[in-house]
Every structure is written in C-alpha cells, then in structure tokens.
Structure 1
Amino acid sequence: MPKLYQAISLALLVALTQTSCSSSKPATQESTASTSRSKAASGTDIKSYSDVITKSAVTDEGVFTIHKVGDKFYYEIPDSLLQRDFLWISRFANLPSGLGGGYVNAGSSVNEQMVEWQKFENKIVLKTKSYNAYAADSLPISLSVRANNYQPTIYAFDIAALSKDSSGYVIDVTKFLTSDVKAFSGLDADMRKEYKVSKLDDSRSFIHSAKSFPLNIEVKQDFTYDAAEPPSNSATGSISLMMNQSMVLLPKTPMQPRINDYRVGYFNINQYDYGSEALKADQKSYIRRWKLVPKDIEAYKRGELVEPVNPIVYYLDPATPEKLRPYIKEGVEQWQEAFETAGFKNAIIAKDPPSAEEDPDFSPEDVRYSVIRYVASTTRNAMGPSVSDPRSGEIIESDIIWYHNHLRSYRNRYLLETGAANPAARTLDTPIEDLGEMMKEVITHEVGHALGLPHNMKASSAYPTDSLRSGEFTQKYGIAATIMDYARYNYVAQPGDKDIRFVRQLGPYDHYVINWGYRYLPEANSAEAEVPTLDKWIEAKANDPMYRFGSGSGGYDPESQTEGIGADVIKASTYGLKNLKQVAPKLYDWTAAQTNDYDDLEELYGELLGVWSRYIGHVVTNVGGVREERMKPSQQGYIFTAVPAKEQTTSLDWLLKNAFSSPEWLHQSKISRNIHHANYVESVRNLQERHLNSLLSPDRMARLMENEVNDVNYNALDMVRQLQRGIWSEVYSGSKVDIYRRNLQKAYLDRMDYLLNQKQPTRNSRYGTPVELNQSDIRSIVRGELVQLQKQLKSARNRYANDLTRYHVDDAIVRIDNILNPTNS
C-alpha cells in the first residue's frame, strides 16, 4: 500500500475510534454548548458583539443583560439559562376607564404561564411549558409524555451575536415587545369583539421601559389599538393601555409540595403523573402556599416560635390614603396570630411603600414586590389573587386589590343588617373606627386568599344561632369560625343584647388551616412522607364543626352558603327579618332627613330588598337540601345526607309566610313615593319570582325525587302540593287576592309551563344535578297538580264578588288550559 493511502487510512481509523469512544459517553453541557456556539458563529447573519452592542449601548445587568441601542432593545441570554423554567406574568400597568366592565384595574394579572428559552440552529426560541402532565425523566414513558404534550412556540428570534466571552446569545427583542403577541396581550378575544378592535397601531406603540434584576425582568409596553367602540374616550377611536411583562426565574429545585386534602380548604394545582403504578395517569394535587422555612430549625423542633428565612412581605400602594394605612397594615399582620399557631413569628409583615431614595426600582407591577393595590374605581369589590410556581404550588407573589368605593358597600350593609341592635350603625357618617375595623377584616380576608385559602362557607354554620346573641361568645369567637366565610355582619343579635361583636374576625379554623398548610415538617423528606401527620391533624378535629370545610359551590348544602350565619338557617333568617322590619321604617330618618337628598335613601332601600332576598334564599336551600360532610372511607358516616323531612316542610311553611305572603312591611310610603313613580310592586314581584323559580328548579326537584330511595319521607310531589296549596290559598278560603299574590300566582303558572313544555338538555342544572325532564316524574307531577288546581279554580270562581279577583281566576283557568294543551293555544 502506498504511504499516502496508509496515512489516510490511519487518520480515518483514529477519527472513527474517537467517534466511537465519544458516542459511548454523554456529551458534557460545556462541550455541547461550545459546539452549539461554534455552529451559531458560522451563521452568515451573526455579527460580532461590538457591531451589535455598540459603545452607545445603555446596559442593565440582571438575570439577562438588557441593552438599549438607539431605539432597539437586546437581550443577552446566558447559555446556562437556556431550558430553565421561567414564569411569565402579564399585567395591566395602566388602562382606560371602564375596560372590562370595571373589574379590571392597574395591577390585574391577565395571564401567567411557564416559559423556557431554547436554542434551535441559528435561532433562540421562546416556548410555553406545562407541568400538567409529567413523568420522571428516568422512565421510558417520559418520552411519550413529551411527544404528546408538545408546547406552542411563542416567538423565534434570530441570533444577532454571541456574548463577548461566547457564553451566551444576543437577540433583538424590539419587534417582539412591540408586537401584538396574543400570549401576552391585555385584550382578550371577548374585549376585542366588544370594543371592535381592528389592529395594534404600530406608530403609537412602543417599549416604555425594560429593566433587569437578579431574578426577574420587568418590561412596560405602551400599546394603542384601533377600536371602533372603546370603553371610554370614544371620539378617539382607540384604546391605549400600558402592559407590564414580568419574567421570573424559578428555582432549579422546586419547593417540596404539600399534598392537597379536600377536607381542608386550599387552592391547589393539579398534575397528571404518567409514571404512576395506579394503572392510569394518577392525578396529583398540591396546595398553593408560600415557602416558609424556620431560620433555626432546632429551636423550631423544640416548639419555640421562630422567624422564617423569608417572611411574607406586603407593601402598601403609594396611592393609599394616609388615614386608611393603619387599618390595611393591621389587616395584613392579623395573620401573624395564625402563623404563630404554625410555629412562626413575624411570618407576615406590612410595610409602607419605600421612597425613591430607599428603593429607586420599586414598582407595584414588579413581581418581586407583593402590594396592597389601592384602585381608583367606582367598582365595589376587593380581591386577593396570587402567582404560584406551577411545579410545586409555591406562591411567589400576590397583589391584594382594594377598590376605592368598596367601603360604601360595607357602610350600607352595616346599617341595614345591624342597625336595629347597633346604635353606631344608624348613620351615613359611620365612625372612622368602625369603617377601619371593617376594612381591616376585608383585607385580612383577601390576604387569606393570597395565602392559598379559598372561601369556607361551611364555617358560618359551626356556631349555635343563639350564641351569636352572646357578647362573651361573639367577642371571643366572632360570628363565624373563619374569616374566609362570607359572614360579614352579625344580623342575628337583637336590640338589648349586650357587648355584641357585629363585624367578622379571625376564627379557630384560621389557626387550624394555617397550621395544616404551613407548619414545617423537617423529618418528612417528600410530600408523601407528610401525609400521615397531615391526616392525623384532620382526624383529631373531625367531629368538631368549627374545623369543617365547605366551598359553598353546588347550592345544595344549607350549611354551606354565602352570607349566612348560625347553625339554624330558619332561626337566623327569622332574627334577620325581625331586625330588618325595625330598620325599614327608620331608613328615611337615617338618610334623607339628614342629607336633604334622596340618593342615599334610594340606594339603601334597593339594598334592603336585597338583604331581605338573601335571608329568604338561605331558607330555600333547606328544601331539597343535602348536607355535605367531607370525609375519607376510614371515617364513619356518609358524605351526603338529605335534610330531614320535617325540616324541609317547616322551611316551606316559613317561606310561604315570609317570602310569598304580601310583604306590606316593605312598603314605606315615605320611601317608595319619593324614589320612583311606580316600581315597588314590580321589585317585589321580581324577587318573589326568583325564589319561586329556585324552589321549582329541575335540579332541586331531582334531589327531592332522590329522597324516595334515601328513606326521606318528603319528595317532589309533597313539595309541589305544599307549595301550590300555599300560593293559591285564597282559592280554598275564598278571600280576595291582592296585587302581590296575583303576580305571584301568575309567576307560578309561568314556571309550571316551563317545567312541562320547555325542551331541556339531559343535564339541566347549573349545579350539575342530572335530570332528564322527559323521563323524570317532574312533568307527571306538574301535569297532575295543574289539573287539580284548575278544578279548584273553576269551583271557586263564582264565590268572588271582586271583579279583579274573578278576572284573575278566569285568566288562570285559561292559562292552565294552554299549558296542558299547548298545541291549542
């Protein structure tokens, strides 16, 4: 063999040997990155660093280095941060009045998603990432999970240059940050349709600022859209808003999660584990909570109160009125009591906003700061949203939102619900101390949401109703077992009751739930290892109603409904109506007589009707009601138990007397004749019809029919007969039918027509109770009872001398004919 060929053969052999050896080992990250950068450098469009990042560049170093060169913005992305998990939060920084109907404000989050930056050939790609489905990388099925959960690409960037030391990539983000990227936009599809948005106007859109910090990037974009019907400033034909984009680097190792238990109330995140041995994708649910770790773990183990390494800190919005700041701080820090039960001191702190000298970078939109936002809006509400790591449930930031007009709602409710027994409430000029106490408790409630706690509507039924008339009891325990219930005021207390607490406060459940979710368990090295201890804590309190949880969803559990207090809803609503009947005649004197104006009187009277309606609605839930007790198979008893028959019949009798009789006490001439020319009768009709339709809803009747197999001696036919006889009682007594009752009886026939003749989907219920009307007893019951009613009406019509009553009866007879024979109508 010639020497030249021998040399070539030897070189090929060495090359093949090296290739074979290297392929038997995984390439190191550094060698892969080096190769990647070498390939990138060979791209024809990639320039030298100095050609892109010129001497005129304004540079801001942080998680990514940001360069501003002229009117262009560049990100310099370290190679080490490719394929790292980031959380991207899009918020409104500024927005026009009325956008979103008043419930959207500066600081509102419009989207949060996990993203990662990847390199593909000569591009850097920004992709969304999800942890909804996962499997450990060591398992073969992880390949299928990735293949069947391929995530969208949000944007692809050309690599403009390599970093000076070739340790990263420079990309131009100008077009990206000035484009209408749907994943980060403040205008969702519904808004675009409502306001007839045609496009983003590039000439009036720009990057306001871009700042980089050690763990996050904050960008503000000023966008103007062409819109034919904007929510305000309609003459401009446009919508301008400022968006804040926060990109937060998540820790490499997620916080150890805590497994959710539906018997305790926490917001949660859900994941499907395809690596499970359960012969299916096993759903894992983890609670959302802040990461609190004791500074001194040994002292914590000894039972001493220990400060956390990183406490939860809330800053007040610089826009907050000075006189309200102390109450807001107290509302935040009131949770320190509950965290002490979990072994932490100073776990949650409220601070004034820093001055420009103290922190020049402070911004309420910056995801590093949790802020109590004070919003200049006529909306009457408050909210407690938070942002969490979707991998573990760790809450990393939250903004409590307080709308300026919200205290007016509390002033009004305070007057209406407690005014009979509480002299301090009988005025429009509520003392600032009382308003401050209300605000403090609302802030505490909203911070509770931001700590991971949902509403617990079951808690208000934990206390015996008459205990709410005890000063000693209410001062110690409040009016519900948790601040997370919608139990705002003590409307049960009566005139003459002494030393009553009228406003809600933290309760025993709050201490229990914070301990359950936040107590640090140093011996447990996995989420699964914590479960025996967590179960033990729940079962220790299982028979005490003060520690029960119920979301209030479903509308079927009378012990778990909004705005109720006390264990006995009939007794509580009776007390509430008794108080309301004392407030109604005084309303004029407490408002218009003091202000020489009818605006407050009109507003409060409308709300008084709403309060009356709420008390009625609480009792409605007893009829066809099912009590839910959250438990596991290891516990004794049933989860669902129907309300006893006697309690259901008593409830319907109460409704016939208090909801469906003529409510003459509500008709205050000095009110109705000064606020509207003709609206009172229609308002009453509307409210009565609402509760009547609720009683005669398919889902409630389905639950009543279920009683037949649950040994409850009260079914749908019993309810309809009792209701029909009560609503049409004049037919049996021969008495005159007044205008309220005529309206109610017509509403009854309309509802029966609906139940008998309307086409319904198979699952006809807002609450999900399944019922197929055509194949259920509902239509049989409706038809049979209408036939009986028509007979009674025909028999009774000649007994009426009053023309209007007789005409009404004749009309009802014809209406029933048309309902029973719709093809003839």
Structure 2
Amino acid sequence: MRTILRFLRAAVLMPLAGVTLAAQSPAPLVGVRVDADRNKLLLEIPQAQLNKDLLHQSVLATGAGVNALGLDRGQVGGEVVFRFERRGRRVLMVADNWTSRAPAADAAGQRAAAEAFPRAVLASFPIESEADGLLTVDATGFFLTDTYGVGESLRRAQQGSARVDAARSWFESDRTKAFPRNVEIHAVLTFSVDNAGPALRRWAADPSAPVFEIHHSIVALPEADGFRPRQADPRSGYFGTGFLDFSQGLDGTYRAGFINRWRLIPKDPAAYARGVPTEPTNPIIYYLDPGIPEPYKSAFREGGNWWNTVFEAAGFKNAFQVRDLPAGADPMDARYNLIYWVHRNGPGPSVGPSFSDPRTGEIVRTVVRMDSYRSLVDYNIWAGLVPAAGARGLGVSAEAFAMARRRQHTAHEIGHTLGLSHNFIAASQGRSSVMDYPFPLVSVGANNTIDLSQAYAPMAGAWDSLAIRYGYTWYPNAQAERAGLDRITQEMLRRDVRFIADQHAGADGSIPNATRWVEGASMTDAVNRTMAVRRVAMQAFDERAIQPGEPMYLLSMRFLHVYLHHRYSLEGLIKTVGGMDFRYALRGDGQVPTTVIPAAEQRAALTMVLDAVQPAQLEVPERVLALIPPVPPGGDATYDWLPRAGSTVDQVELGGGLATEVIEGLMDRERMNRVALFFARDRQQMNIHELMETILNRSWYAPDATTPSQQALQRALRRVVLNTMLDRAGDARADADVRQVVAYHLDALRQRLQGQSPTPAIANQALREAALREIAVFFDGRDDPSKRTRYPVIALPWP
C-alpha cells in the first residue's frame, strides 16, 4: 500500500498518449503512446526496466448487465508478475511460476523448484525503434485482444461464439497514461458474435456486436523492505497466498503460504510500542465511485469506516479511510482503490476482490463491487412485513432498513479486501463479525407486533477486531511477531471467538450454527423466532404489502419472503441431525477437535424440523391465494416468484418445494452417512432406522389430513419422502448401511400400503398405488429417477 500511495505524491499526472514528458517530470515506469492513425499501442520501455518484476492487472471497465453472464462493470480479472525480456528484435512478457518455490534452499535448490513447473510467455512485442535508452515496441497484439476472457464467458453462458473485431476496436487515448510507478491502458473491444444467445439479444444494443472495455495496469511491485510476509494460520480467518515449498524437509508437507494483507507501518514505532495509538505512514484509502447516489453513498462511507474503528484494536488511528474520488481521477487508475456501483438486470452478488503480490501476499489494490439490486430485495422483505406491523408501523422506514443492511454489506465486502474470509459462525456468537451473511433479526413483540429494531448490527464485532489484530499488528522483528501472534490466537481461543469458513457452512454441513443467513445463539432459537414471525406475517398478509396503484401480482415476491422466512434457520437446524461440531485445532492449542452433537439434541431438532413441513404449516391462507392474479400485459414476469398452475398460484408446488428442501436436507447422503457412523461409535446416538421411522411416522404413517387443501399438501410431503427414499436407496455413493436400511423401509412401506384398505379419497389412493408401482420398479432394478414427479425448490435472492 505504501508503494501504491506513493503514486499520489507524484508531481505530474501527465499521460504519455502522444505527449513528451517535460524534462523536470519524474520518468514514467514505462512510456505508453497511442498511434490512433494505425490503431496501435506503443510501449516505450526503458532499458533499466528490462528483466525487472512488474505486476499486470486487468479490470473489466464495462459490464454485460446480466448476472448469468458473469461480466460486471468493475470486475477484476487476472494478475500476474512478469518481466520484459529482450530477445533479438522482440521484447517478451515472461511470467515465472510462483506456485513452486524453495525459499530456504541455496541457489541451486531454488532453481530446481523454479524449473519443476512451467513458466509462461504472455506476449511478444516487435521492436519498432531504439533510441536514448528506450525500446519502442508494438504492444497492440496483446492489449487489443481478449485477454480478459469475455468470449469464453459468453461461450460458457451459451450466448454465442465471440471474437474481437480489431477494425471496430481502439485504445482510449485520454485513459491511457503513464506515471512513475504505474501505466494505465484502456482498450475498447468490439466483439463479433455468431449465434448470439437470448441474454445478449435481450440486453445488448446489438447482440452481434457488443462492446466491452478492458482496463490494463502495469504496476511497479512493492519493495520488499519494510514488509514481512505473515504466515497463514487456519484459525485466523484470512485468505492466503499459497505455494509449494520444496525447501521443507521430509517432516513437512511441501505446502506453505502467507496471509493476504495491506502494508501498515506506524509513523512512530516507539510510540506504537508503548501502546500509544499511532497513525500509519500510509493509511489504507478507498474511494467511492462518483456514480453512487445518496443515500447509498453515505451508507457505504459509514459502513466502510467501521474498519477505521476496528484498526484501532491493532494500535493504529486513522488507518482506514473512505473518501470521494478526486475530481478528474480515472476510477480505473491502479492508484485508487474503488468502491464501485454495479447495475444488473436482476439479483446477484456484491464482491470484494483484491490484487496482491504473489511473492509475499501483500495486497496492493482492490475494486469492490456493490450491486444496486440488493436493496430491492431488502425492500421486499420490509414491505412483506408491513401488513403485520399494526397501527404504529414497523418503527423503521424502508430506506432506514435497507441502508442499515447496506452499511453492513459494505463493511463485509471491504473486509474481504482486507484479507478476511467469510466467518459463518459469527451470527450465533452475538454477531461477532461482519464477515457472516446476515439475515435480518426480526422478532414478534407485544400484541403480536413485528419488531425490526435489531434487524442489522450497527458495527463490526469481536472476531473482526481479533482478526485485524492478527493481520495488522505491527512488530519490529520476526521473533516479536511470532510471540505476538501466539498471544492473539490464545486470546481468540480463551474468549471462544470462533471462525468457520465457507466450505463447512453448506447445507450438507455438520455444525448447525455455521449456517448462512441465520441469526440466533442456537438454531432452535432461530427456528422458534422465525416461525413465530412467519405465523404472524402470514396471518396478517394482504394488499398493504404493495403501494396503492401497484399491480396486485407484485404481492407474489413480497409473500414469498414471508412464506420462506424460516427456511435458512430450518437449514441450520437440520444440521443438528448427524451433527458434529469441530475446531480448526492445532496440536497443543487446547481445542477439542471434534464433538458429536448429543443424541437428545438431534432428536429434538428432528421433531422441530418435521413440524415445519406438516400440512397445516405448508398451507397458504385462501384469502392470500385469492389476492394474487397472474402477470398482466406489460408486466414483468421476473417479479412473479410464486409457482403457478397457469394463472393461479400453485400452493402445492410451493409447499412441495419447501418439503423437498427439508426432507432432502434430512436425508442428505453425507448426513445419513454420519448418522450411521456415529451410531456405530455410540449406541446412544440415533441410527438410520430411527431416522427413517421418524420421517415416515410424520408423513406416510400419519393419519390422513381432513381438509382437501391439507390433503393435497400431505400428498406432496409423502411424494417427497418417497422420492428421497428411492434416491438414497439407489445411491451408489451412500454408505452401505444407509442404502440397505432405507431399502428395508421402502419394503416395509410397500407391505404397509398393500395391507391398507382403499380410501375414498381418490387422489390419496392414486398416490398409494403409484408408490407401490415405483417401489416394485426399484426392487426390479428398473428405477429411473428422472421419471419421478419433483417439486422444485424455490430460490430467493440473497437478502
């Protein structure tokens, strides 16, 4: 960071696009010139810059606007350390392979590691002239091609075959500039597309000729002096730069890595050592895209500046700042870390990526992308609760609710660019981190009123503070650093402020509290609260969820947020079944590596989860079904989220989708494998037989519902249970005990259905007979899962 911010102190910001720098101006890193007549880009490479490591970065300056294409405005591309090497009348861009190293070996050992994996030649530039220590090369062939991979993205999205049309492409002279420590090159690429797909046909001005702009930066790498790579620790929660270290002995793993972090050095190390809050020599500064409107700009600034308070825990003051972009500055210039405003045609993620020096893990630049669509989702959540608010309202305006989320959201994405990973157990630890995915904390207050007062956290949390201390506390030497980091990790363990990463927070995970989009100290608490909110909100739901004069079909997306208000907490509770907590333990750190969740908790969770998919819970009030018509002419079907049977809302498919999510979660392959394995270790644990009996007792073996509506939903639940049993019994990747016991219960179900008297409810009888046929087909070895009736799980945009 010190290196990049040095650019800001450069006296001259003059481009080299056809302009000769004044004699008193600092020499550019590499000169650059646009020859507009020949549509060429010329680099003027000083002899002194040959064979020196530089960093190439690329950013997609303009986007496709369609989330499915994965091409956003401000989306960062690749980065690579390279050097210019002269070979006769050519200059090559050569990249070493930093995935293989031997840092502790002698020169011969380092060479052996370097030669073990292939390096790359990225480009070859013909030399046009040579004078005054400068090599003028034609770099058009590299910078006017699809180095970003736009064409590949379109191909993967089935949007056609695309290639750059050089005759309709060019370099922007006013955005192509050279500075003492960075070079900026802006290419405008027109693609020729054959067989353009529907997204391009719908959203591009001309689907056969979309234009994408790619901004390239060539940046001087930071000096090694003053920055000490910090070793990765699985408990710290940092992204890292990993590599193979072949200088390790036979007692190693050949794996090594550094955490990714910015360079922060105190101006006054002596005062810092005494515990006096100290300003850094160069603060970390992010700039706001001028296109961000209010009230977002203020929310982004406030949420981003939460980190300034967090950095105080690491001994720094004024270490992190969010500012407006200076007038006239190019937001693509590598000297500015941008918080970018991204528009799409639908919901999608915001992203916090960064560029880092692969040699050390030092972060050198970021382009945060904040999507505008997220607030529409926040508004839908808020509006869906309005009918249940009562005469006093929700107590918080829609804008205040959305901006509270966007402050947290900005802090989250910036946290990634500071090096921090997701922490998906933080919500259950008193909101200990902004790096979790927060669901709004909504509760039912007195007189069945909805309470939004605690919807989102107003600041960063305890884990954020400890993590920043781990990554950014400054130490004068390596010995002090090792001791200091050990103290911080011991404090994390002593306070039990935990970190659980992405890969262990999925729906098939084993730690209930490590679940995305939940709030609460336990998933039992979360389910009780969210189901109470859902009950009150469904009972009150009516046309007040939309504005007067709005089309009634818009109630669809508002109601779906109400109907599925409890879905994520149910996902967390499901993980209790076959659940096992675990820690990223190191030998000697005092942590218990694994703990199987007690059997009583598993059984209680199973009961609660199955309660949520009983017909009475799946049913939609008739008055709500009658409120929501189909999309009228001129309406937008992308806002009609409820499943439909032609023109009417299909509550059976809606309820069947939720039942599918729950039953398939309970009978997930890995979950059932764990149930079988834990029972084999402890006879007090639940076994597969008990799990299947409990599910069947609450579905197929339960008394038939009494009303036609609930009977239809009960049939959907039974169908889902049958489908999932057939899936798992035929699952070659499932544990043998799992397959065999599920098959045993399929046969038991067959025998029970064969012994039942016909029911006057024809649809119920038809399901029984269909089940008998399908079970027989399974045992005959002719089962075809693709032919079973399925209920799709309805996705909702991230809140």
Q: TM-score, normalised by structure 2?
A: 0.85
Q: Are residues 729 and 723 of structure 1, via their aligned partners in 2, closer, same or farther at CA, if it must alter by over 3 Å? A: same
588, 607, 610: which is aligned to 2:542?
Answer: 588
In 2, distance between residues paired with 1:452 and 1:410?
A: 27
Q: Are residues 315 and 793 of structure 1, via their aligned partners in 2, closer, same or farther at CA, if it must alter by over 3 Å? A: same
Matching of residues 275-354 of structure 1 within 5 Å: 275-278=247-250, 282-354=254-326
1:748 is the counterpart of 2:701? no
Q: State the partner residue of 1:472.
A: none
Matching of residues 601-750 of structure 1 within 5 Å: 601-663=555-617, 666-671=620-625, 673-676=627-630, 677-711=648-682, 712-730=684-702, 738-750=711-723
Q: Are residues 493 and 277 of structure 1, via their aligned partners in 2, closer, same or farther at CA, if it must alter by over 3 Å? A: farther
Q: Are residues 316 and 424 of structure 1, via their aligned partners in 2, closer, same or farther at CA, if it must alter by over 3 Å? A: farther
Task: State the Cα distance separating 1:130 from its structure 2 match.
Answer: 2.7
> Is the 2:379–2:402 contact (alpha carbons within 8 Å) kept by the matching residues of 1?
yes
3-state SS in 1 of match to 2:408: helix
Q: State the partner residue of 2:76.
A: 109
3-state SS in 1 of match to 2:61: strand
Specify the code of the residue in structure 2 equivalent to 1:342: A
Structure (1 or 2) with the larger CA radius of gyration: 1
Specify the code of the residue in structure 1 equivalent to 2:756: A
Specify the code of the residue in structure 1 equivalent to 2:164: L
In 1, distance between residues paired with 2:344 and 2:491?
A: 46
Instruction: Spell out, residue by residue over 1:602-648, the C-alpha distance to the aligned partner (whole angstroms, 9 max, x if none).
Output: 11112223323223222111111111222212033532222111111
1:561 is the counterpart of 2:532? no
Instruction: Spell out, residue by residue over 1:540-569, the C-alpha distance to the aligned partner (whole angstroms, 9 max, x if none).
Output: 331433344444435221121101222221
In 1, distance between residues paired with 2:526 and 2:571?
A: 12
369, 376, 381: which is aligned to 1:401?
Answer: 369
Q: Are residues 125 and 804 of structure 1, via their aligned partners in 2, closer, same or farther at CA, if it must alter by over 3 Å? A: closer
In 2, distance between residues paired with 1:391 and 1:660?
A: 57
Task: State the Cα distance separating 1:386 from its structure 2 match.
Answer: 1.3
Deviating more after overlay: 66-75 vs 255-264: 66-75
Q: State the partner residue of 1:144.
A: 112
Task: State the Cα distance separating 1:732 from its structure 2 match.
Answer: 9.3
Specify the code of the residue in structure 1 equivalent to 2:315: G
Deviating more after overlay: 493-502 vs 130-139: 493-502
In 1, distance between residues paired with 2:446 and 2:619?
A: 19
Instruction: Spell out, residue by residue over 1:467-495, the C-alpha distance to the aligned partner (whole angstroms, 9 max, x if none).
Output: xxxxxxxxxxxxx1111111232134644
> Is the 1:797–1:806 contact (alpha carbons within 8 Å) kept by the matching residues of 2?
no
Q: State the partner residue of 1:815.
A: 774
In 2, distance between residues paired with 1:631 and 1:419?
A: 48
In 2, distance between residues paired with 1:740 and 1:56?
A: 69
3-state SS in 1 of match to 2:586: coil
3-state SS in 2 of match to 1:59: coil
In 2, distance between residues paired with 1:410 and 1:148?
A: 51
Q: State the partner residue of 1:178.
A: 144
Q: Are residues 635 and 494 of structure 1, via their aligned partners in 2, closer, same or farther at CA, if it must alter by over 3 Å? A: farther
Task: State the Cα distance separating 1:204 from its structure 2 match.
Answer: 0.5
Where structure 1 has 5 or more consecutive residues not aligned to the other structure, the ranges are 1-54, 357-361, 464-479, 761-771
520, 526, 534: which is aligned to 1:572?
Answer: 526
1:274 is the counterpart of 2:240? no
> Is the 2:99–2:242 contact (alpha carbons within 8 Å) kept by the matching residues of 1?
yes
82, 85, 88: which is aligned to 1:121?
Answer: 88
Task: State the Cα distance separating 1:803 from its structure 2 match.
Answer: 3.4
Q: State the partner residue of 2:333.
A: 366
1:447 is the counterpart of 2:407? no
> Is the 1:385–1:450 contact (alpha carbons within 8 Å) kept by the matching residues of 2?
yes
3-state SS in 1 of match to 2:189: strand
3-state SS in 1 of match to 2:45: strand
Task: State the Cα distance separating 1:377 from its structure 2 match.
Answer: 2.7
Q: Are residues 170 and 141 of structure 1, via their aligned partners in 2, closer, same or farther at CA, if it must alter by over 3 Å? A: same
Q: TM-score, normalised by structure 1?
A: 0.82
Matching of residues 425-574 of structure 1 within 5 Å: 426=394, 430-463=397-430, 480-492=431-443, 494-495=445-446, 500-504=453-457, 505-524=459-478, 530-551=481-502, 552-554=504-506, 555-574=509-528
Q: Are residues 399 and 750 of structure 1, via their aligned partners in 2, closer, same or farther at CA, if it must alter by over 3 Å? A: same
> Is the 1:462–1:546 contact (alpha carbons within 8 Å) kept by the matching residues of 2?
yes
When the two chains are superposed, the root-mean-square deviation of aligned CA atoms in Å is: 2.9
> Is the 2:308–2:319 contact (alpha carbons within 8 Å) kept by the matching residues of 1?
yes
Q: Are residues 271 and 616 of structure 1, via their aligned partners in 2, closer, same or farther at CA, if it must alter by over 3 Å? A: same
3-state SS in 1 of match to 2:585: coil
1:225 is the counterpart of 2:191? yes
Sequence identity, in percent? 22
In 1, distance between residues paired with 2:257 and 2:703?
A: 57
3-state SS in 1 of match to 2:608: helix
Where structure 2 has 5 or more consecutive residues not aligned to the other structure, the ranges are 1-15, 22-26, 631-647, 785-799
Instruction: Spell out, residue by residue over 1:483-529, the C-alpha distance to the aligned partner (whole angstroms, 9 max, x if none).
Output: 1111232134644799952212311211111111111111336xxx6
Task: State the Cα distance separating 1:68 from its structure 2 match.
Answer: 4.2
Q: State the partner residue of 1:20.
A: none
In 2, distance between residues paired with 1:592 and 1:431?
A: 12
